Amino acid sequence: MNIEALIDKYISSTEKTLNTMQQTQDTIILDKKNIHEILSYAKAYLEDAKYYREQKKFETSLTSIAYCEGLIDALKIVGAIKIPSTP
């Protein structure tokens, strides 16, 4: 799959999700188990990105690392993790 087709696929899928999703609660609680599970997904996406880079499947590698960063960003936004600033 070329990069344009991959982008179209992910945009379409994401638009469908955003248009059909429903917020479940006003307040949610993330306990350490939830945070650990989300971080395990992020780490798996990082490993996928490295694997696909080595396989020269750059589009898939880029998608994987973007998923990883998205999960990290979400945890940061809800205050579940802190990321030290770099000098």
Render pLDDT for 12-30 as a digit per residue (tens, 0 to 9). 999 999 999 998 888 888 9
* Contacts (Cβ under 8 Å, ≥6 apart) of 8: none
Q: Is residue 51 part of a domain?
A: yes
pLDDT of residue 25: 80
pLDDT of residue 50: 98
Point out the residues of the chain with pLDDT beneath 50.
none
Q: What's the sign of the alpha-carbon dihedral 25, 20, 37, 75?
A: negative
Q: Is residue 22 part of a domain?
A: no
Q: Is residue 53 part of a domain?
A: yes
Q: Is residue 20 part of a domain?
A: no
- Number of domains the chain contains: 1
Q: Is residue 64 part of a domain?
A: yes
What is the Cα–Cα distance from 78 to 81, expressed in whole angstroms? Answer: 8
Q: Is residue 37 part of a domain?
A: yes
Q: Is residue 48 part of a domain?
A: yes
Domain encompassing residue 67: 31-81
Model pTM score: 0.83
